[in-house]
Structure 1
Amino acid sequence: MTDDDRDAQAARFRRSNAEKDARVASVRARLNTGNAPRQPSGGGPSGWLGPALFWTVLLALAAGGASLWLDRERGDTAVRVLPGDRLELRRGSGGGYRVPGEVASRPVSFIVDTGASLTSIPARLGAELGIRECPAVGFDTSRADEPGCCRRETFHTASGTTEGCVARVPSIRFGGFEVRNAQVAVMPALGDHALLGMNVLRHFSLVQQGGTLSISPGAAK
């Protein structure tokens, strides 16, 4: 092969600078396109805000629903103190009215019972207050500011006949009301709630309308 033939064959593989620059630019463009960072789904960096807001609202609704369901299951009753020292109770799911209060400064949960002649407390609470059975012979020597002794008595209830005792307590409070030196029946199987009976409620005016019971100062009619 002559030198002229070698030069002609080599020329086939030679490219001008312009052609070289064009090919380099083409390769760079392809590389940039293939390695370009992908945008997160959702349209940009803030795409996570939508799902986060959705789950926040969903959890809040679930918590609120659970709270309402528990209130209904427990039979919780709303208590409102209105102008004029009027107490308003809303009937619970069990059909009764409940109100927080105190017996001799001990907190209790009262169930309003207009069919009970005496306010009743559980025997456990009576023991905590220091109420003891009265002696067979003798007088109650308890001071006015402490619970008196408990005299045995038989009670006739809807569940049958039961034994208990009756004692005096310095005070009974519920809402903004107080009745001093009231009698209570100490019952062995009353449960965790106390019954607010007519010996206390007769000092107040009771008005029931629909599922609401209003209690205000003034003798019951």
Structure 2
Amino acid sequence: MRRFELLLAGLLLLPSLTVSAPMVQVVGLFPGAAVLNVDGQRKLVRVGQTGPGGVEVVSADSRGAVLRVGGVERSYGLSREYSGAGYAAPEKTQLSVAKGVGGHYWIAGSINSQPVQFLVDTGATSVAINENQARRLGIDYRAAGQPLLVNTASGTAKAWRVRLNSVKVGAIDVLGVEAVVLEGESPSEALLGMSFLGRVSWREDQGVLRLESKI
């Protein structure tokens, strides 16, 4: 009897264990997919799939997403972060780039975690790379891309529209970015076009390009 009482007392002295709710943020919305940030881990997750922390995307469109978190379904708008304490505004990330050679803005960044040197081109509708760059980055543009014709300074060129998992400059990381892969060797440098720039805040100030994340 004495041994049982000691074991019971020991159990009563154990600290109570609590499981905190994950920090869940929707940082991008697409038809049938959402970009999730769960406890700092970001991933593009399609409807019916499970992302970081076991968070499942139930439905998603350009207006919002329904996520299943810990077995409970909740509706999320863009750039809202939920924790056990409620909703909180995420921090924004900034980057300043001085004008470089030829009066252009050059930024070292990455595509799908592979290093890329970008030339900022606000006149380009999308991020653009040539087919040699796409092969180096492991992008299977012919199989996964949508063929199209694009107008360039040299005329009409054959291209493929693709969706990049990630485009990052500095600490600004944007997921699910539309891009085009052009046949041939042009453009010689990867163009950072409006499919990326349109999803961040940017302005030019006396020869300095200032970028800021929208989340």
Counterpart check, 1:183 vs 2:192: no
- In structure 2, the partner of 1:119 is 127
1:206 to 180, 202, 209: 202
Give the Cα–Cα distance (whole angstroms) in 1 for the partners of residues 139 and 206 of structure 2. 40
Structure 2 gaps of 5+ residues are 1-90
- In structure 2, the partner of 1:167 is 162
Conserved? CA contact 1:120–1:186, under 8 Å: yes
Distance 1:203 1:132, change over 3 A: closer
- Larger of the two Rg values belongs to structure: 1
- In structure 1, the partner of 2:71 is none
Conserved? CA contact 1:165–1:185, under 8 Å: yes
2:98 to 82, 90, 109: 90
Corresponding letter in the other structure for 1:96 = H
Distance 1:132 1:185, change over 3 A: closer
- Structure 1 segments, 4+ long, off by >6 Å, are none
Residue 131 of structure 1, CA deviation: 1.1
- In structure 1, the partner of 2:153 is 158
Give the Cα–Cα distance (whole angstroms) in 2 for the partners of residues 84 and 218 of structure 1. 7
Give the Cα–Cα distance (whole angstroms) in 2 for the partners of residues 192 and 107 of structure 1. 15
- Residue pairs, 1:60-71, within 5 angstroms: none
1:133 to 135, 138, 142: 142
2:190 to 184, 194, 197: 194
Residue 190 of structure 1, CA deviation: 2.1
What secondary structure does 2:101 align onto?
Answer: coil
Say which is worse superposed, 189-198 or 174-183, in terms of deviation.
189-198
- In structure 2, the partner of 1:100 is 108
Give the Cα–Cα distance (whole angstroms) in 2 for the partners of residues 193 and 201 of structure 1. 17
Corresponding letter in the other structure for 2:140 = I
Conserved? CA contact 1:131–1:167, under 8 Å: no
What secondary structure does 1:133 align onto?
Answer: helix
Percent of aligned pairs sharing the same letter:
28
Corresponding letter in the other structure for 1:121 = I
TM-score normalised according to structure 1 size: 0.52
Residue 84 of structure 1, CA deviation: 6.0
Judging by fraction of residues, say which structure has more strand: 2
TM-score normalised according to structure 2 size: 0.53
What secondary structure does 1:117 align onto?
Answer: coil
